[in-house]
A and B are shown apart, each in its own frame.
Chain A
């Protein structure tokens, strides 16, 4: 039985607000401006934890729409799916982690040239090299 079959309407909209917008989303765009500036000046990456903000689903949708879709969309299969999508602003990535059941476990906006998760770690590359060499030795 799905949750929808239970006759309880979950109305999660703050009273007196238009379409669930709290006004908490726009300041995040200003913060992003600062973070992108910092990335350009110092190369320092940063992230905003969307789970830690009092944002409603409507706020998130608004933010997502404002930032738009970029050219790159990365899908990571690790203990559930994760998506790392570039927004229309290069260097700003919308990162969503799902668990194996498909529920969102955490959500971030990352400001980086390439998100940390996408890069291969030197130690893992070394392991890859070993297996390549092993492959050659068997030829």
Chain B
């Protein structure tokens, strides 16, 4: 199975047209020009399967759960087959010493060329003893695997920013991949879990162009994390009109108004949920009536409570029609207010009470 991708696909009964169609959609999703679909198809058809080593550290396997949901029967899943996944504890058949051997063999055979995927944070407390695999600490394994990697993908909020293990008071001393590895290109794909198609999209980009996509200041691919949830939210017009749901069962909630006052973190969260959606494009949190938790942002767990509004928006009733005009300005002010609040919450380690949830 080391031939060009298109041959491998043909053996699996995937036609060229199916593949072209997939590439067109993928290019559209990655915000590339339409002509890129054809270029991608050509490059990918000829691509050979790169070796991929997936290391799970201090994690819940939610990221693996998510990416497997993009598996059969969708083509994204097939592309996933098209990489040579040489080590993935949850998915591989081998176990114990055999598994460790497979990893070492792959690292040796593909030195300097393999793609390293990491999910989970890395605990540094007590010399890394909080999380070990085969008797070795996570930090030790990461350093060894990073040395021969062409690039590293930090899958999920834990690997990207420390995530839930790093939440105050961070008992294990958890850190992110980029806190440890400094000399390799790293792409962060945050989310708890990340959107399946965003993960496979980044892998497809790597397959196609042989490089990682363009990243923002937090190391995230701009194609998926270029805009906030709020900016792309279909409920945004209600925010601009000052129409907010006040509880989860009032008239506003039933009318599908903005969930800002119920603690939606959409305005400060960069992710593709509002456009790509979840479960094969079925729906996403805001569409099912719950505000965004901000799970793809650093330290989202300590950002001051999921059901607390970011800040009090301008009084919608008094401003009325003018709200639409000031909407954009309010958004900016809110994001600044939140940054301060996040910092305060972080240092104070606010405990969420029942009253917060019932707000």
A5 at the interface (CB under 8 A from B): no
Tell whether, in the assembled complex, residue B21 and residue A49 are in contact, meaning their CB atoms are under 8 Å apart: no
Convert B251-276 into 0s and 1s, putting 1 for each residue whose CB lies closer than 8 angstroms to a CB of A. 00111100000000000000000000
Main secondary structure of the interface of B (DSSP, over half): helix
**Which chain A residues (97-129) contact chain B, with CB distance < 8 Å?**
97, 99-101, 103, 105-106, 108, 116-117, 121, 123-124
Please measure, in the bound complex, the distance between the C-alpha atom of A127 and the C-alpha atom of B284, giving whole angstroms. Answer: 43
**A137 CB–B CB distance under 8 Å:** no
Stretch at the interface among A12-20, A26-34, A63-71, A86-94: A12-20
The answer to whether the Cβ of A134 comes within 8 Å of any Cβ in the partner chain is no
Contact B237–A13 (Cβ < 8 Å): yes
The CA-CA distance from A14 to B20 in the complex, in Å, is 35
Q: How large is the interface on A (under 10, 10 to 19, 20 to 34, 35 or more residues)?
A: 20 to 34
- Contact of A105 (CB < 8 Å), options: B25, B34, B253: B25
Residues 22-36 of B, flagged 1 when their CB comes within 8 A of A and 0 if not, give 101101110101110
Q: List CB contacts (< 8 Å) of A49-67 with chain B.
A: 49, 51-52
CB distance from B289 to the nearest CB of A (A): 6
Contact yes or no, B281 A15, CB < 8 A: no
For A16, A48, A79, A99, the residue with the greatest tally of chain B CB atoms inside 10 Å of its CB is A79
SS class, residues of chain A in contact with chain B: loop
Nearest A residue (CB) for B22: A79
Cα separation A116 to B41 with both chains bound (whole Å): 12
Query: Is A82 positioned at the interface, with any CB of B under 8 Å from its CB?
Result: yes
Cα–Cα distance between A47 and B253 once the two chains are bound (Å) = 40
B256 touches A105 (CB 8 A): no
Give the nearest-CB partner of A82 in chain B.
B21
Contacts A13-B237, A117-B20; is A78 near B28 (CB within 8 Å)? Answer: no
Q: B152-188 CB contact bits vs A (8 Å, 1 = yes)?
A: 0000000000000000000000000000000000000
Task: Evaluate contact between A99 and B237: CB separation under 8 angstroms.
Answer: no
B73 within 8 A of A: yes
B24-A106 in contact (CB<8A): yes
- A11 interface hit (Cβ, 8 Å): yes
- Partner of A51 from B28, B256, B324 at Cβ < 8 Å: B28
Chain A residues within 8 Å of B, Cβ to Cβ: 3, 7-16, 46-49, 51-52, 76, 78-79, 82, 97, 99-101, 103, 105-106, 108, 116-117, 121, 123-124
* A-B contacts besides A97-B25, A108-B24, A117-B21, 7 pairs, CB < 8 Å: A10-B287, A48-B34, A49-B28, A76-B21, A106-B29, A108-B28, A108-B34
